[in-house]
């Protein structure tokens, strides 16, 4: 891989800043400074020192974010704030994107990564990765309506796959889905003449939203959590 590309993927500098720093001899590879931005490096084996810091290379970045209301799940948007606005500049330079979408007013767990293949795998319906959402609805949900929703409902030409619902109060509960159609839970509740008034994702596969993260805060996934993407 090119040295300037590696530095920008690691979020250390933009591609052009990296080029300037390499030319200025501020980056060494195995003890020598290559001076050419396209110098080829083996990030897993070469010892690369950037402005005096030995770089610890990781192929991909995985971030857990506690999404607040009012942010769209996109990398950029002309008029709205995006979930990428909440992470550090260094991380943003790494080409992160949200692994799956939450609506603008949905809260909770969003995973940001630059692992395209891994994200594709975990989002593929084949893999049945379950996601749990805490919800509140406008009207009480009867046992019959819960059964109906669990069996699958028509959300406008699409019949939802079986899911699990655990009610904690008449208008509050947790729903576990293994798929993610556009506005799925909102449309499911509309299918039984009800309305979602609160929605928060609390897990994604084995990854649980860290209760220490306040809305808008994030942290890197642990190596155990990253296994979902392997
Ligand atoms: N279902 C919805 O309706 N919205 C979300 O954000 C996620 C699931």
Provide the β-strand partners of residue 64: 111, 219
Most informative mutation of 106, 134, 182 for ligand 1 (most atoms within 8 A of CB): 106
CB of 189 within 6 A of ligand 1: the answer is no
What b-and-e string marks burial along 133-154, b requiring 16 or more CB atoms within 10 Å of the CB? bbbebeeebeeebbeebeeebe
CA torsion 110-114-117-118 (nearest 10°) is: -50
Whole-number Å distance, alpha carbon 162 to ligand 1 midpoint, is 16
End-to-end CA separation in angstroms for the chain: 22
**What per-residue confidence (pLDDT) applies to 213?**
97
CB of 137 within 6 A of ligand 1: the answer is no
CB of 181 within 6 A of ligand 1: the answer is no
**What per-residue confidence (pLDDT) applies to 80?**
98
Residue intervals of the chain classified under CATH 3.30.70.580 are: 62-124+207-229
Most informative mutation of 65, 108, 133 for ligand 1 (most atoms within 8 A of CB): 133
CA of residue 92 relative to chain centroid, distance: 13
Q: 3-54, superfamily in CATH?
A: RNA-binding S4 domain (3.10.290.10)
Contact 72, 84 (CB under 8 A): no
Residue intervals of the chain classified under CATH 3.10.290.10 are: 3-54
Taking alpha carbons only, the member of 37, 209, 216 closest to residue 134 is: 209
Whole-number Å distance, alpha carbon 2 to ligand 1 midpoint, is 40
Q: Which residues contact 178 (CB under 8 A, 6 or more apart)?
A: 125, 128, 129, 130, 131, 161, 163
CB of 183 within 6 A of ligand 1: the answer is yes
**What per-residue confidence (pLDDT) applies to 93?**
85
DSSP 154: B
Angle at alpha carbon of residue 72, lines to 69 and 76, rounded to 5°: 145
For the chain, 230 residues long, give each residue's pLDDT as a single digit of tens. 999 999 988 888 889 999 999 999 999 999 999 999 999 999 989 999 999 999 988 889 999 999 999 999 999 999 999 999 999 988 888 899 999 999 999 999 999 999 999 999 999 988 999 999 999 999 999 999 999 999 999 999 999 999 999 999 999 999 999 999 999 999 999 999 999 999 999 999 999 999 999 999 999 999 999 999 99
d(CA 94, CA 6): 10
Whole-number Å distance, alpha carbon 224 to ligand 1 midpoint, is 26
Contact 19, 4 (CB under 8 A): yes
Q: Which residue, judged by its Cα, is nearest atom 2 of ligand 1?
A: 183
Give the CATH number of domain 130-204; options: 2.160.10.10, 3.30.1360.120, 3.40.190.10, 3.30.70.1560.
Answer: 3.30.70.1560
**What per-residue confidence (pLDDT) applies to 125?**
84
CB of 73 within 6 A of ligand 1: the answer is no
Using alpha carbons, list the distances in angstroms from residue 11 to 14, 34, 50.
Answer: 7, 20, 12
Residue intervals of the chain classified under CATH 3.30.70.1560 are: 130-204
Protein fold of 62-124+207-229: Alpha-Beta Plaits (3.30.70)
**What per-residue confidence (pLDDT) applies to 8?**
87
The tens digit of pLDDT for each residue in 11-56 reads 888 899 999 999 999 999 999 999 999 999 999 899 999 999 999 8
**What per-residue confidence (pLDDT) applies to 157?**
94
Q: Which residue, judged by its Cα, is nearest atom 3 of ligand 1?
A: 183
d(CA 169, CA 184): 21
Residue 196: is it exposed, middle or buried by C-beta count within 10 angstroms (0-12/13-18/19+)? buried
List the catalytic residues.
103
CB of 155 within 6 A of ligand 1: the answer is no
Most informative mutation of 183, 187, 190, 197 for ligand 1 (most atoms within 8 A of CB): 183
d(CA 157, CA 171): 26
């Amino acid at each position: 891989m090119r040295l300037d590309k590696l530095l920008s993927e690691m979020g250390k500098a933009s591609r052009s800043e990296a080029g300037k720093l390499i030319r200025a001899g501020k980056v060494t590879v195995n003890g020598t400074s290559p001076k050419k931005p396209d110098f080829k490096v083996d990030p897993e084996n070469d010892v690369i020192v950037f402005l005096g810091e030995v770089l610890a290379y990781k192929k991909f970045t995985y971030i857990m974010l506690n999404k607040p209301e009012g942010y769209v799940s996109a990398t950029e948007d002309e008029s709205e704030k995006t979930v990428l606005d909440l992470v550090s500049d260094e991380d943003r330079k790494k080409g992160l994107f949200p692994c799956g979408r939450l609506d603008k007013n949905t809260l909770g767990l969003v995973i940001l990564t630059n692992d395209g293949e891994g994200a594709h795998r975990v989002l593929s319906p084949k893999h049945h990765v379950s996601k749990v959402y805490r919800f509140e609805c406008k009207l009480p949900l009867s046992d019959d309506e819960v059964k109906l929703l669990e069996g699958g409902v028509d959300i406008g030409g699409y019949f939802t796959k079986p899911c699990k619902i655990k009610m904690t109060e008449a208008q509050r509960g947790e729903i576990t889905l293994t798929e993610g159609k556009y506005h799925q839970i909102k449309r499911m509740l509309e299918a039984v003449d009800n309305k979602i008034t609160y929605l928060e994702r609390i897990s994604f596969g084995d990854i649980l939203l860290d209760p220490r993260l306040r809305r808008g805060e994030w942290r890197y996934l642990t190596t155990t959590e990253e296994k979902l993407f392997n």
